[in-house]
Structure 1
Amino acid sequence: MKNWIYAALAAFLATGCAPHGGYTLTGEVPEAWEGKPVVLFTTDTGQAEAIDSTTVANGKFRLQGVLDAPRNCRVAVYLDPQDRTDRNLTVTFPVFLDSTAVNAVCDAAKDDPVFTLTGGATQTEWQAYRAALEPLAKERERAFDEYIAAFYHQEDGKKGVELARRVDEKAGRIRDFKIAYVREHPASAVSLAIVQELCDRQSRLDKAQMESLLGALTPQLRESAAGRYTAAGIQGKRIVEGQPLPDLELPDAEGIVRRVSDFIRPGHYTLVEIWASWCMPCRGEIPFVRRAYEKYHRKGFDVLYVSIDSDAANWKRALDEEKMPWPQLLDTGRTSFSAYETTAVPTSILVDGEGRICRLNARGGWLDGALEEIYGK
Structure 2
Amino acid sequence: MKYYFSLLACLVSFIAHAQTTYSYRVEGELTDNSFNGKMLYIMRYDDNRYIDSTRVENQKFVFEGRTAIPSFCRIDAGRNYGNFILDEGTIKVNLYTHVPTGTKLNEAFNKTIATVDSIRKKGFAHLAELKKEKPNAEDWQPAWAEYYEQKIRPSLLGYLKQQIISNKDNGVGEYAFRNYSMACNTDEMDALQPEIGNWLNSLKTVQAIKARFEALKSTAVGKPFVDIAGENTEGKETRLSDFVGKGNYVLVDMWASWCAPCREEIPNLAEIYNTYKDKGLVILGIATWDKKDRIIKAIGDLNMTWPQLLDTRQKVMELYGVNGIPHIILFAPDGTIVARNLRGDEMKQKVAEIMKDK
TM-score of the aligned structures, taking structure 2 as reference length: 0.72
Partner of residue 288, structure 1: 268
Matching of residue 160 in structure 1 with residue 141 in structure 2: yes
Matching of residue 26 in structure 1 with residue 8 in structure 2: no
Partner of residue 196, structure 2: 217
Partner of residue 273, structure 1: 253
Q: Which amino acid aligns with 2:87?
A: D
Partner of residue 264, structure 1: 244
Partner of residue 215, structure 2: 238
SS of the residue corresponding to residue 69 of structure 1 reads coil
Superposed displacement of residue 119, structure 1: 1.7
Q: Which amino acid aligns with 1:222?
A: N
Superposed displacement of residue 122, structure 1: 1.6
1:136 to 102, 108, 119: 119
Q: How does 1:287-366 map to 2 (within 5 A)?
A: 287-291=267-271, 303-308=283-288, 310-311=292-293, 314=297, 317-318=300-301, 321-323=303-305, 326-331=306-311, 335-340=315-320, 345-351=325-331, 355=335, 360-365=340-345
For the 8 Å contact 1:183–1:213, the answer to whether it is kept is no
Change in Cα spacing, 1:221 to 1:255, as seen in structure 2 (3 Å) is closer
Instruction: Provide the C-alpha distance between the structure 1 equivalents of 2:42 and 2:148, rounded to a whole number of angstroms.
Output: 36
Partner of residue 195, structure 1: 177
Matching of residue 101 in structure 1 with residue 83 in structure 2: no
Q: Which amino acid aligns with 2:80?
A: V
Instruction: Provide the C-alpha distance between the structure 1 equivalents of 2:334 and 2:311, rounded to a whole number of angstroms.
Output: 23
Instruction: Provide the C-alpha distance between the structure 2 equivalents of 1:147 and 1:296, rounded to a whole number of angstroms.
Output: 33
For the 8 Å contact 2:99–2:110, the answer to whether it is kept is no
Change in Cα spacing, 1:40 to 1:257, as seen in structure 2 (3 Å) is closer
1:178 to 153, 157, 160: 160
Q: Which amino acid aligns with 1:160?
A: Q
For the 8 Å contact 2:82–2:99, the answer to whether it is kept is no
2:38 to 36, 52, 64: 36
Partner of residue 120, structure 1: 103
Change in Cα spacing, 1:278 to 1:101, as seen in structure 2 (3 Å) is closer
SS of the residue corresponding to residue 215 of structure 2 reads coil
SS of the residue corresponding to residue 114 of structure 1 reads coil
Change in Cα spacing, 1:278 to 1:210, as seen in structure 2 (3 Å) is closer
For the 8 Å contact 1:246–1:339, the answer to whether it is kept is yes
Superposed displacement of residue 186, structure 1: 4.7
Instruction: Provide the C-alpha distance between the structure 2 equivalents of 1:29 and 1:178, rounded to a whole number of angstroms.
Output: 32
Structure with bigger gyration radius: 2
For the 8 Å contact 1:150–1:160, the answer to whether it is kept is no
CA deviation digits over 1:240-287, x for unaligned, max 9?
A: 462655312234467664421343348976432122456553332122
For the 8 Å contact 2:71–2:86, the answer to whether it is kept is yes
Partner of residue 15, structure 2: none
Partner of residue 7, structure 2: none
Superposed displacement of residue 97, structure 1: 1.4
Change in Cα spacing, 1:300 to 1:175, as seen in structure 2 (3 Å) is farther
CA RMSD between the two structures:
4.1
List runs of 5+ in structure 2 lacking aligned partners: 1-19
Instruction: Provide the C-alpha distance between the structure 1 equivalents of 2:111 and 2:296, rounded to a whole number of angstroms.
Output: 51
Instruction: Provide the C-alpha distance between the structure 1 equivalents of 2:206 and 2:66, rounded to a whole number of angstroms.
Output: 22
Instruction: Provide the C-alpha distance between the structure 1 equivalents of 2:324 and 2:297, rounded to a whole number of angstroms.
Output: 19
Q: Which amino acid aligns with 1:94?
A: N
List runs of 5+ in structure 1 lacking aligned partners: 1-18, 78-88, 107-112
Q: Which amino acid aligns with 2:265?
A: E
Change in Cα spacing, 1:261 to 1:51, as seen in structure 2 (3 Å) is same
Superposed displacement of residue 26, structure 1: 1.6
Partner of residue 84, structure 1: none
Change in Cα spacing, 1:353 to 1:185, as seen in structure 2 (3 Å) is farther
Superposed displacement of residue 211, structure 1: 4.2
Matching of residue 64 in structure 1 with residue 64 in structure 2: yes
Change in Cα spacing, 1:148 to 1:304, as seen in structure 2 (3 Å) is farther
Partner of residue 8, structure 1: none
Q: How does 1:244-255 map to 2 (within 5 A)?
A: 245-252=225-232
Change in Cα spacing, 1:330 to 1:128, as seen in structure 2 (3 Å) is closer
Q: Answer 1 or 2: which has greater helix percent.
A: 2
